[in-house]
């Protein structure tokens, strides 16, 4: 087990988390759907590209800051924290610790609907940390939502988020039902009894998809499950692109679509008014055998043609992974599991550690590839691993 002073890589955080987290929690955070093919493919896709080193380039004045929102703050580098559910399973402070880390570090945080800390408390924690570290302006958070069959629940979440200062709504669109995650079923996954889904009233009895699926299997039931929990948070499998105008009617906040994995859906997203596209296969937790996100990214970027920003996640463990995604056209990269491992390692400071590791590695890639500005990044800096080096 790595001691706290021995953390130099995201892998070190993962190894520590694998020791300290209970098996049920570890498998929930780390697992994918069925055989885990897409989960693994997200990671190995980065190895299909080499980075071209360049010599004698003036990189003294390195600039990596970027704005996620045109009227917003600059963040240190193009990396933000993706929504991830039930973070108090990783650390007692959970999402509040992540909010303090993001606020103090100066980056954007995504909050899951299935948070174990309320969206109001998370925003206050991020604002307080930003103020404490002397950063100007309010913290920047986005809320990930699902559209439930009881749409009033979704509507209330969106209104709450807008009222307390969230900057965007991230609609997850790849979940007409939750993927079949065998580790969670085998472990009989349940939210620990001392925790709750903090964004829902207790009387709704909200549960995760894994809890419901596990319960049905244990009872020997054979009905088809469309989603999670009670009627109030049952996912709506009948959604179509018409949901975008409805969401737009509820809020002035930008609507981002998370879970876009092909050019066809990217074009439809733009046509129906999405303000940004989030290329994601849900961390390999939905459709197993789906391609890795890095492989579909260039086609989506080409199809969108700069009409809306392209956000990206999937298997990021290195600063070089972020570099490669940006070279292939992503505007922003988001990290998920590294944050959870950082929480397990040392709460708020573990998350900051993860961000610092990735920022340092990313800046190293920039400098050693001869780039001092983000707009210098592009596919010309990458070489496919099967190319002959004599052709570089």
Phi, psi of 378 (to 5 degrees): 180, 175
- The encoded tokens of residue 19 equal 């020791």
CA dihedral for 52, 57, 59, 65, sign (positive or negative): negative
- The encoded tokens of residue 302 equal 């080409």
Burial class (CB in 10 A: 0-12, 13-18, 19+), 132: exposed
Residue 354's closest CA among 336, 334, 337, 339?
339
Strands (E), 226-358: 255-260, 276-279, 310-312, 332-335
Distance of alpha carbon 73 from alpha carbon 63, whole angstroms:
15
From the candidates 282, 311, 380, 387, which is the catalytic residue? Answer: 282
Distance of alpha carbon 314 from alpha carbon 337, whole angstroms:
10
- The encoded tokens of residue 378 equal 């592009």
- The encoded tokens of residue 133 equal 């570290």
DSSP string across 47-77: GGEEEPP--S---SS----EESSTTS-EESS
Are the C-beta atoms of 56 and 366 separated by less than 8 Å?
Answer: no
DSSP string across 189-228: ----TT---TTS-GGG----HHHHHHHHHHTT--PPP-SS
Is there a catalytic annotation at residue 282?
yes
The set of long-range contacts for 191-197, using a CB threshold of 8 Å and a minimum separation of 24, is: 191/86, 191/89, 191/116, 192/89, 195/86, 195/88, 195/89, 195/116, 196/116, 197/114, 197/115, 197/116
Q: How many CB atoms lie within 10 A of CB 180?
A: 17
- Residue 382 pairs in a beta bridge with 51
Specify the DSSP class assigned to residue 305: T
- Residue 235 pairs in a beta bridge with 148
What residues are labeled active site? 282
């Amino acid at each position: 087990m790595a001691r706290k002073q021995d953390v130099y890589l995201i892998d070190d955080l993962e190894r520590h988390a694998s020791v300290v987290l209970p098996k049920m929690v570890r498998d929930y955070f780390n697992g994918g759907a069925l055989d885990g093919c897409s989960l693994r493919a997200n990671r190995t896709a980065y190895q299909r590209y080499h980075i071209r080193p360049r010599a004698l380039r003036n990189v003294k004045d390195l600039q990596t800051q970027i704005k996620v929102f045109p009227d917003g703050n600059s963040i240190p580098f193009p990396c933000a924290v993706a929504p991830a559910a039930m973070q108090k399973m990783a650390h007692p402070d959970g999402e509040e610790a992540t909010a303090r880390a993001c606020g103090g570090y100066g980056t954007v945080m995504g909050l899951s609907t299935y948070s174990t800390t309320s969206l109001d408390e998370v925003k206050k924690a991020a604002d307080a940390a930003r103020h404490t570290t002397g950063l100007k302006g309010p913290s920047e958070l986005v809320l990930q939502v699902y559209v439930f069959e009881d749409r009033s629940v979704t509507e209330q979440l969106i209104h709450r988020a807008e009222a307390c200062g969230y900057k965007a709504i991230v609609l997850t669109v790849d979940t007409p039902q939750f993927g079949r995650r065998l580790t969670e079923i085998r472990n009989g996954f349940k939210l620990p009894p001392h925790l709750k889904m903090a964004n829902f009233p207790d009387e709704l009895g909200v549960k995760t998809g894994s809890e419901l699926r596990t319960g049905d299997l244990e009872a020997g039931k054979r009905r088809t499950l469309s989603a999670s929990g009670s009627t109030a948070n049952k996912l709506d499998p009948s959604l179509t692109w018409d949901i975008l105008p409805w969401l737009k009617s509820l809020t002035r906040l930008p609507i981002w679509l998370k879970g876009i994995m092909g050019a066809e859906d990217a074009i439809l997203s733009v046509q129906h008014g999405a303000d940004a596209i989030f290329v994601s296969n849900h961390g390999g937790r939905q459709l197993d055998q789906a391609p890795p996100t890095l492989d579909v990214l260039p086609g989506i970027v080409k199809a969108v043609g700069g009409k809306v920003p392209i956000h990206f996640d999937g298997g990021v463990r290195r600063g070089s992974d972020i570099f490669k995604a940006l070279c292939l056209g992503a505007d922003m990269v988001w990290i998920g599991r590294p944050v959870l491992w950082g929480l397990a390692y040392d709460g708020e400071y573990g998350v900051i550690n993860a961000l610092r590791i990735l920022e340092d590695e990313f800046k190293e890639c920039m400098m050693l590839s001869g780039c001092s500005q983000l707009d210098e990044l592009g596919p010309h800096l990458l070489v496919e691993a099967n190319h002959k080096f004599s052709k570089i």
